[in-house]
Amino acid sequence: MGSEARHAVCGIISIGDMGMGIARLLIANNFGVVSNVSDRSSATQRRARDNNIGEVPCDIDLCNKSDYILSIVPPRDAAATAQRIIKASSSLNFQPRSNPLVFIDLNAISPKTARSIAALFENSSIRFIDGGIIGGPPSRKEDGTWSRPSIPVSGPYNINSAEPSGSKIAEVLNMQHVNDTIGSATGLKMCFASLAKGFTALAIQSFTTAHNLGVLPELKAHMEEFNPAGLKTAERSLPGMCPKAYRWVHEMREIAETFEADGGFAEDGSESPFRAIAQIYDLVANGTELGKEVVGARKRGKTAEDVAVLVSEGTERRKVKME
């Protein structure tokens, strides 16, 4: 780290692929990073130590040691994670501080969910920032620079005004303050994700059905001729989707809620394809061999064709069970 002083300490919940990438980027820029991994696997705890992430034994210590807490969890756990931090900050062991603790929700949730989580903080001393992550985890390139996702944030509390080093955090993490409205940042994330993950769901069905019909090579050949960009996206997104499908089930429901509550589409689901898309990812996560994978130890579909074959096998097993 050299002699340069740390800017601030960021607590990260939790240390998955995205959380680890953000942690590494922050540490590389002289921020301290801590996490409560006491209830995580020994492999996760070892990975945290190997990457210079400070371990704390409980959420109270996480709050006491952090200037900022970044919540990066599966969408279904977003509200519970916020409640954990509110409970910890209400403890008699929560220490007085000169600057308020800042909670930055970076989860793939709808604006409606973001507003409900923000309401939980209204009677606390914690400042809430609505946010979303667009793009993959930060990673260091061969030339030493970093590739970074875009992190839009919104709400009445501007990260650039936060102390200590709020503007530096915004710069390092590529955060852009969209506006002062809670839900704007998460809504932007949902609108963007709907296009990418919606296409992936369509590709799952298209490639699987073409495989069942024995025309997958011909489908790819026609895509190569008439839609090469779509073929390239499908061949990249299908294998990449496999370890994330379980997270995307609830995210698709959050997208549906976004389009219904904030887009004006029918709330009975009749105008929302994303409730059905959630079921497609549930099939991948819970009804195929792809869903038996765990990060770092999975049997992954190496190609789009592999994914089509494994999804086809899953649907055939389901058909047999129903007969």
In this structure, the strands spanning 146-147 and 139-140 are: antiparallel
pLDDT score for 130? 98
118 three-class SS? helix
Provide the pLDDT for residue 97. 93
- Checking if the pLDDT of 300 tops 70, the result is no
CA–CA dist 312, 217 (Å, integer): 16
Instruction: Report which of 38, 37, 30 is spatially closest to residue 9, judged by C-alpha positions.
Output: 30
pTM of the model as a whole = 0.92
Q: When comparing pLDDT for 14 and 135, which is higher?
A: 135
Residue 297 confidence (pLDDT) above 90:
no
DSSP letters spanning 262-323? TT---TTSTT-THHHHHHHHHHHHHHSGGGG--TTS-----SHHHHHHHHHHHHHHHHHHH-
Q: What is the pLDDT of residues 52-74, one digit of tens each?
A: 999 999 999 999 999 999 999 99
Q: For residue 42, what pLDDT band results from cuts at 50, 70 and 90?
A: confident
pLDDT average, residue stretch 72-88: 97
In sequence order, the β-bridge partners of residue 306 are: none
Classify residue 40 by its DSSP letter.
S
- Is 90 exceeded by the pLDDT of residue 159? yes
Mean pLDDT across the chain: 93
Identity of the residue numbered 111 = P
Give φ, ψ of 265 to 5 degrees.
-85, 160
Q: Who's near 145: CB < 8 A, 6+ residues apart?
A: none
Please answer whether residues 64 and 94 qualify as being in contact, where contact means their C-beta atoms are separated by less than 8 angstroms: yes
Dihedral sign from CA coordinates of 98, 83, 295, 312? negative
**Is 224 in a helix, a strand, or coil?**
helix
| Per-residue tokens: 125 | 């001393």
Q: Residue 323's pLDDT is what?
A: 74
Query: CA 214 to CA 174: how far, in whole Å?
Result: 45
Of the pLDDT bands very low, low, confident and very high (cuts 50, 70, 90), residue 298 is very low
Distance CA 252, CA 75 (A): 10
Helix, strand, or coil here: 158? coil
Q: Which of 122-131, 192-201, 259-268, 294-303 is least confident?
A: 294-303
- The answer, yes or no, to whether residue 278 has pLDDT greater than 80, is yes
- Reference 255, options 114, 110, 131, 149; nearest CA is 110
3-state secondary structure of 219: helix
What band does 292 get if pLDDT is binned at 50, 70 and 90? low
Q: Tell me what pLDDT residue 269 has.
A: 81
Tell me the pLDDT band of 18, cut-offs 50, 70 and 90: very high
CA atoms within 13 A on the CB side of 301: 31
At residue 293, the pLDDT reads 53
Euclidean distance between CA atoms 287 and 208, whole angstroms: 14
Name the pLDDT band for 296 (thresholds 50, 70, 90): very low
Q: How confident is the model at residue 1 (pLDDT cuts 50, 70, 90)?
A: very low
Token pair belonging to 264: 């004006």
User: Is the per-residue pLDDT at 3 higher than 60?
Assistant: no
In terms of Cα–Cα distance, which of 62, 131, 132, 73 is closest to 101? 62
Q: What is the pLDDT of residue 2?
A: 43
d(CA 309, CA 207): 9
Predicted confidence at residue 165, as pLDDT, reads: 95
In the chain the domains, ranked by start, together with CATH numbers, are 9-181 (3.40.50.720), 187-322 (1.10.1040.10)
Taking only the tens place, the pLDDT of each residue in 185-238 is: 999 999 999 999 999 999 999 999 999 999 999 999 999 999 999 999 999 999
Q: Edge-to-edge strands of the sheet including 32-35?
A: 54-55, 32-35, 9-13, 68-71, 102-105, 127-131, 151-154, 175-177
